[in-house]
Amino acid sequence: MPRWRKHGSTSTFVQFCIYFIQASFRLGNCTYKILAIFESLEFAIWKKKYFGEITTYHNRHKLCLVILDELSNSTPTGSKVNIYEFGVAFGELCKYITENAKFLYNYNGFDTFTGLPNSWRGLPKGAISTNNMLPDTTGDNIFFHVGLVENTISSVDFKSENVNFFIFDFDLYAPTLFTYKFIRKSIKKGDILFFDEAFTPDEKIIIENYFFRDFNYKVIGSTPFAIAFKIEEILF
């Protein structure tokens, strides 16, 4: 198998280009930086193909503010929003969301807090570890579920009349797909799904082969790497 086929990019042509550039210019171990550039370009083409013109924000914080405004405007007074973050890491997004939410909510975050369970895109197993330290975001409505999601997700009841905001940020294909399948039947009209690594082939596969078949939606917005949808109709 050619070396450039092992990097998991979206297309064979891009894989070849990445290896050719790296080898020709002796860039050393820059494969995944080059890969991210190419994949973000392919992601822009992918978004144009499926959604036409959509709003793209510079970073996920700006997109999250739009999502929070959407939730604030659509949530009945006195009702809570259920926020679920699958892949918390150092808690940066958790902190940002909980500090900027202008509605009642319960937050549930899922992570091992010991880093990646296996290697991913040039990062070794154990990368992105907090050494078992939980984020310093605390409150009576904030809960962290420590361990592999396969072992912790059943501790939460996802069946609720409240609006749900699901954030997928596990990076890895297997836990992301497992989580999506687990919560699938609990997703309802008005819920929001945020795919933080949608520019990668793994999340695009899940979006194309599972999400698109299960729901009609509107696109709330995107970044160069992520995309968010609001559910409009259940198809199963």
130-141: pLDDT as tens digits: 999 999 999 999
Spatial separation of the C-alpha atoms in residues 195 and 58, rounded to whole Å: 15
Cα 236 to chain centroid distance, Å, stands at 23
Q: Residue 38's pLDDT is what?
A: 78
Spatial separation of the C-alpha atoms in residues 126 and 180, rounded to whole Å: 23
The pLDDT of residue 207 is above 60: yes
pLDDT tens profile 74-89: 988 889 999 999 999 9
> Could you tell me the pLDDT band of residue 22, with boundaries at 50, 70 and 90?
low
Spatial separation of the C-alpha atoms in residues 210 and 172, rounded to whole Å: 16
- φ and ψ at 134, to 5 degrees? -80, 155
Q: Residue 3's pLDDT is what?
A: 36
Mean of the per-residue pLDDT values for the chain?
Answer: 88
Q: Residue 21's pLDDT is what?
A: 57
